Amino acid sequence: MMADNKEAIKGGEFLIRETEAKDIFIPEEFSEEQKMMAQATQDFVEHEVKPLVERLEKGEYDLGATLLKKAGDLGLLGISIPEEYGGLGMNFNTSILIADVLGAAGSFSTTYGAHTGIGTLPILYYGTEEQKQKYVTKLATGEYVGCYCLTEPDAGSDANSGKSKAVLSSDKSHYVLNGQKMWISNAGYADLMIVFAKIDDDKRLSAFIVERAWDGITMNDEEVKLGIKGSSTRQVFFNDVKIPAENLLSTRENGFKIAVNILNIGRIKLGAGGIGGMKETINLSTQYAKERKQFKQPIANFGAIKYKLATMATKTFVTETLSYRAGQDIDDKTDALVAGGMEKNEAKLKGIAQFAIECSISKVHGSEVLAYIVDEGVQIYGGMGFSEDAPMARAYRDARITKIYEGTNEINRILIVDMLIKRAMKGQLDLMGPAWAVQKELTSVPDFASIDNTVLFAKEKLVIKNLKKAALMVSGGAVKKLEAKLGDEQEILMNVADMLIEIYAAESTLLRVEKLVGMKGEEACAGQIDMAKINLHHAVNIVNNAGKEALFAFSDGDEMRVMLLGLKRFTKIDPWNLKEARRRVANILIENGGYAF
Ligand SMILES: Cc1cc2nc3c(=O)[nH]c(=O)nc-3n(C[C@H](O)[C@H](O)[C@H](O)COP(=O)(O)OP(=O)(O)OC[C@H]3O[C@@H](n4cnc5c(N)ncnc54)[C@H](O)[C@@H]3O)c2cc1C
């Protein structure tokens, strides 16, 4: 259900808008149908995927295709594919929920993500009716396995610089494709490939639907990887491959746009796709900490271990919160556009593009939280964490890829700031007004607004409001000072991105818990209240540190002094016993034997 004014919310606007709890979706609001789908996925992971993990890891890659077929039989490959193409027609947020649960499936979550996301969606969103009927129907059931061939040996982050070339035949009946693609997930058993190449001497990429069975496609052996060893990853070579003209996807030179839009979808799913793995790691770590005894007691009794468990749970709760907030915002925007008369596919793409900033935030946040959690998981297991006989070593290796693919975290951080500034320049987001108001506030007497301490999170919301001012001050100051040169000062972009990520995460978490308290009462949400506040303190630290680093980098003299004072004022937070709060959260985990929020 869409809240009253949801369709009015814009991507990136969180920085200048005071969002209310009722305006965000929280995972506790998933419908019975969505929960049933999540349960079916959980059962699939437990009963079908996990028993095959060892064999997959040892190189029986084709089992990935077998599992995809089984997932197809259960409907898991077509969650948000419309029914007319063999899918279940559920909303985008449900597909994020399924990616979340599959996050506990190790390598197979990459196989699944590559197939259902980048392998299927280009045709679903950009294909002709004929292409969709011919291919999406088969991808939705698992009859065909899909893959996505964008990266080349010399074209990774700079994807548009690829050298693969398609030449249109003189009778315009077909293209002849030559080129080399690298790091292609599912390549070993894919039946269908979305291939990006430049036609003739075009400057921009075009996209093609290529069938594996066609002549001229060869592959290298499987890559020997650090992690996700059970997923197939190969180099693919195209040698004079004849592609029928009707297999051009969308229009000539529209490939880069397709690649970017599809990656936006992949990004939020990747961020959320870590959640299942995070929860699994927390469950295993909690159980191990309860069982492992040192100094005549379970290591779970030690404050240092409680700190880890509580932080792991808090970070997971936060990733979950922001991913589903953004996911539902995308759905609501899409629904609003459809209600306004827009064609469904176009509305979906517009909805996703509108929240591209939040998709990048989700990717960076989720992948870095996952990295933190598996690292602490290894640490809680001690020496056993380093052993291939225990589950942490594989989780640790598998997690590492998430910071690299679907746009590295550096590229995503740059995009977060770049998109925000571009939207401000185009007048789509009014950042200038609020940034100017903050500048004026810097030289005025602080306004000590009275706070009603009986209202839940009244103080904390003021902290969020101030953190937004800090980000506006720093980013506005950097734009003013460096203008077009800001793009060359990537360190500052990274600082600003960190501030924005933490603000979105902290605000979302407070609003989720506020809404939850409204549903269940404060007593039932004690752990969640603690986590929201723990995370807020963390956000204040990051915003303060990143803000300082940025100010040191681009300002000096009086200007720097005024802004540093402003930063101090905008990153104030009352002292609160974080140690006790973390212990309370850890004790909930220990009592429940795992993640219980
Ligand atoms: C296991 C695996 C599976 C994959 N699956 C697929 C797939 O199915 N399909 C597909 O097309 N691709 C796939 N990829 C490729 C993946 O998307 C790329 O590896 C990724 O985009 C990075 O490109 P690169 O490896 O060339 O690194 P590079 O682009 O060379 O980057 C190297 C480093 O430089 C940094 N960097 C690069 N440019 C900039 C910049 N402008 N500013 C600041 N820093 C920069 C990067 O952040 C990174 O830290 C996969 C990769 C792996 C490892």
pLDDT in tens, 28-46: 999 999 999 999 999 999 9
Nearest atom in ligand 1 to 231's CA: 1
Fold: same for 261-411 and 429-592: yes
- At residue 9, the pLDDT reads 85
- At residue 451, the pLDDT reads 82
CA distance 396 to 456: 38
pLDDT, tens only, 392-442: 999 999 999 999 999 999 999 999 999 999 999 999 999 989 999 999 999
Nearest atom in ligand 1 to 156's CA: 26
| % of the chain with per-residue pLDDT over 70 | 98
- At residue 452, the pLDDT reads 84
- At residue 446, the pLDDT reads 72
pLDDT < 50: residue spans in the chain: 1-3
Architecture of domain 261-411: Up-down Bundle (1.20)
Nearest atom in ligand 1 to 151's CA: 11
Ligand 1, pocket-test mutation among 109, 148, 149, 151, most atoms within 8 A of CB: 151
Structural domain spans, the chain: 32-144, 148-256, 261-411, 429-592
For the chain, how long is the longest CA-to-CA vector? Answer: 82
Multiple choice CATH, 32-144, 1.10.1740.10, 1.10.510.10, 1.10.540.10, 1.20.1260.10: 1.10.540.10
Residue pair 502/571 in contact by the 8 Å Cβ criterion: no
Q: Whose CA is nearest to atom 44 of ligand 1?
A: 410
Question: Ligand 1 centroid vs 94 CA: distance in angstroms?
Answer: 28
Q: For 176-301, where are the alpha helices, taking DSSP H only?
A: 255-273, 275-291
Q: Whose CA is nearest to atom 17 of ligand 1?
A: 405
Residue 294 pairs in a beta bridge with: 297
- At residue 5, the pLDDT reads 59
Q: Which segments of 153-257 are extended strands (E)?
A: 165-168, 174-185, 192-199, 206-211, 217-219, 233-244, 248-249
Element (H, E) at 48: none
Nearest atom in ligand 1 to 150's CA: 11
Question: Ligand 1 centroid vs 215 CA: distance in angstroms?
Answer: 29
Question: Ligand 1 centroid vs 52 CA: distance in angstroms?
Answer: 29
Residue pair 505/545 in contact by the 8 Å Cβ criterion: no
CATH superfamily of this structure's domain 148-256: Butyryl-CoA Dehydrogenase, subunit A, domain 2 (2.40.110.10)
Helix (H, G, I), strand (E, B) or coil at 462: helix
- Residues marked active site are found at 406
Question: Ligand 1 centroid vs 183 CA: distance in angstroms?
Answer: 9
- At residue 1, the pLDDT reads 43
Please write down the long-range contacts of 156-163, taking CB distance under 8 Å and 24 or more positions apart: 157/407, 157/408, 157/410, 157/411, 159/196, 159/205, 159/256, 159/259, 160/204, 160/205, 160/256, 162/196, 162/197, 162/198, 162/205, 163/198
- Model pTM? 0.97
Q: Which fold has domain 429-592?
A: Butyryl-CoA Dehydrogenase, subunit A; domain 3 (1.20.140)
Q: Whose CA is nearest to atom 43 of ligand 1?
A: 410
